[in-house]
Amino acid sequence: MRILGIDPGYGITGFGLIEAERGRYRLLSSGVITTPANTDFPWRLSVIYQDMAQLLRQAKPDQVAVEELFFGQNATTGIGVAQSRGVILLAIHQAGLPVAEYKPVQVKQSVVGYGNATKHQVQDMTKRLLNLSAIPKPDDAADAIAIALCHARSSTSLLGQLRAGDA
Protein backbone atom coordinates (compact mmCIF):
# COMPACT_ATOMS: atom_id res chain seq x y z
CA MET A 1 0.00 0.00 0.00
CA ARG A 2 1.29 3.46 -0.95
CA ILE A 3 0.55 6.04 1.74
CA LEU A 4 1.07 9.76 1.35
CA GLY A 5 1.50 11.62 4.63
CA ILE A 6 0.82 15.36 4.73
CA ASP A 7 1.95 17.90 7.35
CA PRO A 8 -0.15 20.93 6.41
CA GLY A 9 1.03 24.52 6.52
CA TYR A 10 0.66 27.63 4.40
CA GLY A 11 4.35 28.55 4.27
CA ILE A 12 5.60 24.97 4.15
CA THR A 13 3.54 21.82 3.63
CA GLY A 14 5.50 18.62 4.14
CA PHE A 15 4.82 15.37 2.32
CA GLY A 16 6.16 11.85 2.60
CA LEU A 17 5.28 8.87 0.43
CA ILE A 18 5.90 5.42 1.85
CA GLU A 19 5.18 1.89 0.82
CA ALA A 20 3.84 -0.34 3.59
CA GLU A 21 3.72 -4.10 3.17
CA ARG A 22 3.33 -6.66 5.98
CA GLY A 23 4.86 -4.46 8.67
CA ARG A 24 7.75 -3.36 6.45
CA TYR A 25 8.09 0.23 5.36
CA ARG A 26 10.01 1.89 2.56
CA LEU A 27 10.37 5.59 1.85
CA LEU A 28 9.57 6.36 -1.78
CA SER A 29 9.83 10.16 -1.73
CA SER A 30 9.48 13.21 0.47
CA GLY A 31 9.67 16.96 0.24
CA VAL A 32 7.80 20.19 0.74
CA ILE A 33 5.39 22.51 -1.00
CA THR A 34 6.35 26.11 -0.24
CA THR A 35 4.78 29.50 -0.72
CA PRO A 36 6.65 32.77 -0.22
CA ALA A 37 5.86 34.93 2.80
CA ASN A 38 4.38 38.37 2.27
CA THR A 39 2.35 37.31 -0.76
CA ASP A 40 -1.40 37.36 -1.25
CA PHE A 41 -2.91 34.65 0.97
CA PRO A 42 -5.55 33.45 -1.54
CA TRP A 43 -2.73 33.08 -4.10
CA ARG A 44 -0.78 30.98 -1.57
CA LEU A 45 -3.80 28.73 -1.05
CA SER A 46 -4.13 28.35 -4.82
CA VAL A 47 -0.47 27.29 -5.11
CA ILE A 48 -0.90 24.75 -2.31
CA TYR A 49 -4.03 23.34 -3.94
CA GLN A 50 -2.48 23.11 -7.42
CA ASP A 51 0.78 21.60 -6.14
CA MET A 52 -1.12 19.10 -3.98
CA ALA A 53 -3.30 18.04 -6.92
CA GLN A 54 -0.17 17.55 -9.03
CA LEU A 55 1.56 15.62 -6.22
CA LEU A 56 -1.44 13.30 -5.89
CA ARG A 57 -1.42 12.60 -9.65
CA GLN A 58 2.33 11.90 -9.68
CA ALA A 59 2.64 9.95 -6.41
CA LYS A 60 -0.43 7.79 -7.05
CA PRO A 61 -1.03 6.96 -3.36
CA ASP A 62 -3.62 4.38 -2.31
CA GLN A 63 -4.42 6.38 0.83
CA VAL A 64 -3.57 9.77 2.30
CA ALA A 65 -3.00 10.67 5.95
CA VAL A 66 -3.16 14.29 7.10
CA GLU A 67 -2.23 15.74 10.46
CA GLU A 68 -5.13 17.32 12.32
CA LEU A 69 -4.85 20.91 13.35
CA PHE A 70 -3.27 21.67 16.70
CA PHE A 71 -3.96 25.17 18.00
CA GLY A 72 -0.99 26.30 20.02
CA GLN A 73 -0.39 29.81 21.24
CA ASN A 74 -0.95 31.64 17.95
CA ALA A 75 -4.57 31.40 16.80
CA THR A 76 -3.86 33.57 13.73
CA THR A 77 -1.33 31.03 12.45
CA GLY A 78 -3.78 28.23 13.26
CA ILE A 79 -6.47 29.84 11.11
CA GLY A 80 -4.08 30.04 8.15
CA VAL A 81 -3.04 26.40 8.62
CA ALA A 82 -6.73 25.43 8.84
CA GLN A 83 -7.37 27.12 5.50
CA SER A 84 -4.37 25.31 4.01
CA ARG A 85 -5.74 22.01 5.35
CA GLY A 86 -9.02 22.84 3.66
CA VAL A 87 -7.54 23.14 0.18
CA ILE A 88 -5.41 20.04 0.81
CA LEU A 89 -8.47 18.02 1.85
CA LEU A 90 -10.33 19.36 -1.19
CA ALA A 91 -7.55 18.19 -3.54
CA ILE A 92 -7.55 14.75 -1.89
CA HIS A 93 -11.34 14.48 -2.12
CA GLN A 94 -11.35 15.55 -5.77
CA ALA A 95 -8.71 12.90 -6.50
CA GLY A 96 -11.12 10.31 -5.08
CA LEU A 97 -8.68 9.12 -2.44
CA PRO A 98 -9.48 7.92 1.08
CA VAL A 99 -8.11 10.22 3.76
CA ALA A 100 -7.37 9.63 7.44
CA GLU A 101 -6.65 12.37 9.93
CA TYR A 102 -4.41 12.04 12.99
CA LYS A 103 -3.75 14.25 15.97
CA PRO A 104 -0.07 14.96 16.76
CA VAL A 105 -0.30 12.84 19.92
CA GLN A 106 -1.59 9.89 17.85
CA VAL A 107 1.38 10.19 15.48
CA LYS A 108 3.82 10.23 18.41
CA GLN A 109 2.08 7.28 20.08
CA SER A 110 2.06 5.21 16.90
CA VAL A 111 5.63 5.94 15.80
CA VAL A 112 7.44 6.15 19.16
CA GLY A 113 5.01 4.41 21.52
CA TYR A 114 4.75 7.50 23.73
CA GLY A 115 2.26 10.32 23.17
CA ASN A 116 4.52 12.96 24.71
CA ALA A 117 7.57 12.06 22.62
CA THR A 118 9.81 14.88 21.47
CA LYS A 119 10.18 15.90 17.84
CA HIS A 120 13.69 14.40 17.83
CA GLN A 121 12.41 11.07 19.19
CA VAL A 122 9.79 10.90 16.43
CA GLN A 123 12.37 11.75 13.77
CA ASP A 124 14.86 9.20 15.11
CA MET A 125 12.24 6.44 15.20
CA THR A 126 11.11 7.38 11.68
CA LYS A 127 14.71 6.95 10.54
CA ARG A 128 14.90 3.55 12.25
CA LEU A 129 11.57 2.25 10.95
CA LEU A 130 12.57 3.13 7.40
CA ASN A 131 16.18 1.95 7.71
CA LEU A 132 17.49 5.36 6.65
CA SER A 133 21.06 6.54 7.12
CA ALA A 134 19.92 9.97 8.34
CA ILE A 135 16.86 11.74 9.65
CA PRO A 136 14.84 13.05 6.68
CA LYS A 137 15.06 16.80 6.04
CA PRO A 138 13.49 19.31 6.18
CA ASP A 139 11.54 18.84 9.42
CA ASP A 140 8.18 19.32 7.68
CA ALA A 141 8.92 16.40 5.34
CA ALA A 142 10.09 14.27 8.29
CA ASP A 143 6.83 15.07 10.10
CA ALA A 144 4.81 14.06 7.03
CA ILE A 145 6.69 10.76 6.79
CA ALA A 146 5.85 10.10 10.46
CA ILE A 147 2.17 10.78 9.68
CA ALA A 148 2.30 8.23 6.84
CA LEU A 149 3.95 5.71 9.19
CA CYS A 150 1.28 6.38 11.79
CA HIS A 151 -1.40 5.55 9.24
CA ALA A 152 0.42 2.43 8.08
CA ARG A 153 0.77 1.17 11.64
CA SER A 154 -2.77 2.16 12.63
CA SER A 155 -4.58 0.91 9.54
CA THR A 156 -3.01 -2.55 9.74
CA SER A 157 -3.60 -3.07 13.44
CA LEU A 158 -6.42 -5.27 14.68
CA LEU A 159 -8.02 -2.19 16.22
CA GLY A 160 -7.99 -0.43 12.84
CA GLN A 161 -9.58 -3.48 11.22
CA LEU A 162 -12.27 -3.60 13.89
CA ARG A 163 -13.06 0.10 13.37
CA ALA A 164 -13.33 -0.42 9.62
CA GLY A 165 -15.72 -3.35 10.22
CA ASP A 166 -17.92 -1.21 12.45
CA ALA A 167 -18.34 1.53 9.83
Active site residues: 7, 67, 140
Task: Give the number of other Cβ atoms within 10 Å of residue 140's Cβ.
Answer: 24
> In Å, how far from its chain's centre is CA 121?
17
What's the sign of the alpha-carbon dihedral 151, 33, 82, 75? positive
The string of DSSP letters for 81-150 reads HHHHHHHHHHHHHHTT--EEEE-HHHHHHHHHS-TT--HHHHHHHHHHHTT-SS--SSHHHHHHHHHHHH
Asked if 90 and 45 count as a contact pair (C-beta separation under 8 A), the reply is no
Q: How far apart are CA 65 and CA 43, in angstroms?
A: 25
